[in-house]
Amino acid sequence: MNHIQLRVTKVARTIADLENATDVSGNHIGEAIQYRSLDREGWLG
Protein backbone atom coordinates (compact mmCIF):
# COMPACT_ATOMS: atom_id res chain seq x y z
CA MET A 1 0.00 0.00 0.00
CA ASN A 2 1.48 3.35 -0.97
CA HIS A 3 1.46 6.51 1.12
CA ILE A 4 -1.65 7.99 -0.51
CA GLN A 5 -3.66 4.78 -0.15
CA LEU A 6 -2.67 4.49 3.48
CA ARG A 7 -3.65 8.10 4.18
CA VAL A 8 -7.05 7.71 2.47
CA THR A 9 -7.66 4.45 4.34
CA LYS A 10 -6.90 6.07 7.71
CA VAL A 11 -9.21 9.01 6.99
CA ALA A 12 -11.96 6.66 5.78
CA ARG A 13 -11.62 4.61 8.98
CA THR A 14 -11.92 7.79 11.05
CA ILE A 15 -15.05 8.83 9.15
CA ALA A 16 -16.55 5.37 9.70
CA ASP A 17 -15.67 5.56 13.41
CA LEU A 18 -17.41 8.93 13.71
CA GLU A 19 -20.53 7.30 12.26
CA ASN A 20 -20.18 4.31 14.63
CA ALA A 21 -19.86 2.01 11.59
CA THR A 22 -18.10 -1.30 12.06
CA ASP A 23 -16.90 -1.46 8.45
CA VAL A 24 -15.52 1.13 6.04
CA SER A 25 -17.88 1.57 3.09
CA GLY A 26 -17.38 3.00 -0.35
CA ASN A 27 -19.04 6.19 0.85
CA HIS A 28 -16.43 6.59 3.57
CA ILE A 29 -13.64 6.10 1.05
CA GLY A 30 -15.24 8.58 -1.34
CA GLU A 31 -15.53 11.17 1.41
CA ALA A 32 -11.90 10.58 2.40
CA ILE A 33 -10.80 11.11 -1.21
CA GLN A 34 -12.73 14.38 -1.31
CA TYR A 35 -10.95 15.56 1.84
CA ARG A 36 -7.64 14.49 0.31
CA SER A 37 -8.29 16.58 -2.80
CA LEU A 38 -9.24 19.55 -0.60
CA ASP A 39 -5.98 19.07 1.28
CA ARG A 40 -3.99 19.07 -1.96
CA GLU A 41 -5.77 22.12 -3.44
CA GLY A 42 -5.89 24.05 -0.20
CA TRP A 43 -9.05 24.78 1.74
CA LEU A 44 -9.57 28.15 0.09
CA GLY A 45 -9.13 26.91 -3.49
User: What are the domain boundaries of the chain?
Assistant: 3-41
pTM: 0.81
Q: What angle do CA 22, 26, 29 make, to 5 degrees?
A: 90
Side-chain-side CA neighbours of 5 within 13 Å: the count stands at 2
Q: pLDDT per residue over 13-23, tens digit each? A: 999 999 999 99
The pLDDT assigned to 44 comes to 57
3-state secondary structure the chain: CCHHHHHHHHHHHHHHHHCCCCCCCHHHHHHHHHHHHHHHHCCCC
